[in-house]
């Protein structure tokens, strides 16, 4: 972990501490206001508002991270950008509280919440100004010596790390030694496209005086995706991944998946019971159809669906391959003769997918993600199409709300890759909001 990353985590913890302190201060302030305004409701004990904090704090922390509120580049950048990030973060936190109050009728002091938002905004603004001053004084006081031909690096160090820049118009080891002996240099930026021996001598010069050296690796001529450095023991590895999902966001996604799936199972239980009875009495065979499908990185898992085909339908698949209407390795037929009359209704409304809420609860699937393919089709994916397997499969996805089987295979794969490469919690929410209208319309369902 870099020094700046540790600093940013410490700043985020400070901000969360300010929020907790703001709630206590708002509680004390409201008690004083209640003496002046007797019309206010009696105070609800402070601990009764803890459930709001359990939603507000993770939402606030996630938004702060997305908007860069604790990042060094924001703190040392234009003051207006920092203020804008703070106000937007507060606004998203307030929206989270509003959703809770509307969805769940609980006994809280709304005047306390208003005071909390006001007090926390004022105290956070003071904290951010103090943090900004400290970071500018410490980070901005750091002098980075940038060697010849690294103008881009100079701009990055100034803009993203708040460094003062001094240029050394040379790559000569002797001149670097001479400058470092004069003192005052806190770090040195070196180009990576040098001969190994030359770079080694420059690094030795920095090591001799105990000054950290930053070697610009992308100047080596890397044409792949942006790498991430990892140390394994004494060895440095460059890790390449086109899109690395944010770990805290993935944890939030996993928590929300299970929480929503559990609630949805309770709500839809009566409907699923009726559907199960109808499936059982209208055709021979089990109620559920269990099929092994490809999960994360192609790992098989048993996906659940209400059975929509007659018993033994899988054995007839080979004979129907000639009627396949979908290009690529997937198999789709508009009027599949194996589908039962009830099954056509269940497919049209997507009700047959409801048992997959159990898969979500068990962690096999997510609410949103590329639709899982049968194992035989998963293994036939080639090239960049296999990148869709890098994320957990979902109940719904971009393809699902954009026409499904009306789209060709390449369009389907392109949409899945767009989702994988641009994933965010906001994108998941947007797709979930588009799913219900898509289900009601039945567009592209087979």
Q: pLDDT tens digits for 266-287? A: 999 999 999 999 999 999 989 9
How confident is the model at residue 219, as a pLDDT? 47
Q: Look up residue 111 and give its two tokens.
A: 């005047």
Specify which residues 190 forms β-bridges with: 215
Whole-angstrom distance, CA of residue 233 vs CA of residue 236: 8
Whole-angstrom distance, CA of residue 241 vs CA of residue 406: 32
Q: Are 166 and 185 in contact (CB under 8 A)?
A: yes
- φ, ψ of residue 299 in degrees (nearest 5): -70, 130
How confident is the model at residue 157, as a pLDDT? 82
Q: What CATH topology corresponds to 143-219?
A: Rossmann fold (3.40.50)
End-to-end CA distance of the chain: 49
Q: Are 350 and 325 in contact (CB under 8 A)?
A: no
Q: Are 159 and 73 in contact (CB under 8 A)?
A: yes
Cα–Cα distances (Å) from 227 to 47, 194, 223, 236, in that order, read: 46, 19, 10, 12
Q: Look up residue 92 and give its two tokens.
A: 């998203």
By CB atoms closer than 10 A (0-12, 13-18, 19+), residue 293 is buried
If DSSP codes are grouped into helix, strand and coil, which group holds residue 291? Answer: strand
Q: Look up residue 167 and give its two tokens.
A: 């240029």
Find the radius of gyration of the CA atoms of the chain.
29
- φ, ψ of residue 63 in degrees (nearest 5): -65, -40
Residue 175 belongs to what H/E stretch? Answer: helix 173-182
Helix axes 173-182, 196-209, angle to 10 degrees: 10
Whole-angstrom distance, CA of residue 269 vs CA of residue 308: 19
Closest CA to 40 of 134, 106, 113: 113
Cα–Cα distances (Å) from 189 to 81, 146, 210, 225, in that order, read: 27, 5, 14, 22
If DSSP codes are grouped into helix, strand and coil, which group holds residue 70? Answer: coil
Structural domain boundaries of the chain? Answer: 3-138, 143-219, 247-441
Whole-angstrom distance, CA of residue 68 vs CA of residue 62: 10
Buried b (16+ CB within 10 A) or exposed e, 257-276: bbeebeebbeeeeeebeebe
Q: Are 211 and 183 in contact (CB under 8 A)?
A: no
- The stretches in the chain having pLDDT less than 70 are 1-4, 34-52, 73, 77, 100-109, 139-141, 161-162, 218-228, 231, 233, 236, 238-247, 322, 325-326, 328, 403-405, 440-446
């Amino acid at each position: 972990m870099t020094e700046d990353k540790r600093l940013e985590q410490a700043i985020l913890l400070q901000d969360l501490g300010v929020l907790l302190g703001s709630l206590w201060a708002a509680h004390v302030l409201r008690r004083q206001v209640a003496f002046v305004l007797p019309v206010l409701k009696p105070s609800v004990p402070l601990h009764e508002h803890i459930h709001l904090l359990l939603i507000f704090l993770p939402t606030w922390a996630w938004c702060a991270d997305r908007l860069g509120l604790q990042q060094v580049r924001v703190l040392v950048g234009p003051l207006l950008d920092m203020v804008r990030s703070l106000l937007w973060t507060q606004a998203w936190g307030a929206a989270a509280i509003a959703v809770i109050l509307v969805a769940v009728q609980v006994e809280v002091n709304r005047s306390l919440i208003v005071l909390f938002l006001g007090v926390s905004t004022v105290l956070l603004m003071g904290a951010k100004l103090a943090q900004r001053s400290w970071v500018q004084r410490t980070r901005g006081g750091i002098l980075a010596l940038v060697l010849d031909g690294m103008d881009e690096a100079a701009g990055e160090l100034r803009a993203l790390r708040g460094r003062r820049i001094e240029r050394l118009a040379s790559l000569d080891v002797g001149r670097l030694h001479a400058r470092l002996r004069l003192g005052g240099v806190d770090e040195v930026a070196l180009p990576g496209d040098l001969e190994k021996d030359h770079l080694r001598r420059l690094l030795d010069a920095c090591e001799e005086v105990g000054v950290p050296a930053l070697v610009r690796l992308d100047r080596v001529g890397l044409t792949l995706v942006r790498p991430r450095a990892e140390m394994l023991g004494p060895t440095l590895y460059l890790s390449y991944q086109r899109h690395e999902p944010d770990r805290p966001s993935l944890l939030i996604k996993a928590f929300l998946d299970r929480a929503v799936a559990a609630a949805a199972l309770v709500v839809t239980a009566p409907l699923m019971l009726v559907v199960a009875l109808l499936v059982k009495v209208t055709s021979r065979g089990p109620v559920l159809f269990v099929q092994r499908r490809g999960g994360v990185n192609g790992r098989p898992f048993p996906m659940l669906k209400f059975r929509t085909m007659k018993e033994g339908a899988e054995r007839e698949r080979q004979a129907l391959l000639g009627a396949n209407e979908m290009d690529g390795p997937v198999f789709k037929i508009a009027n599949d003769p194996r589908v039962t009359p009830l099954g056509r209704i269940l497919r049209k409304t997507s009700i047959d997918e409801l048992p997959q809420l159990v898969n979500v609860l068990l962690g096999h699937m997510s609410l949103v993600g590329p639709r899982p393919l049968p194992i035989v089709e998963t293994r036939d994916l080639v090239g960049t199409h296999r990148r869709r397997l890098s994320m957990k499969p979902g109940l719904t996805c971009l393809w699902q709300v954009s026409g499904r089987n009306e789209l060709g295979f390449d369009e389907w794969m392109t949409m899945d890759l767009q989702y994988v490469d641009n994933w965010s919690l906001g994108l998941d929410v947007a797709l979930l909001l588009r799913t219900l209208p898509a289900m009601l319309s039945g567009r592209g369902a087979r």
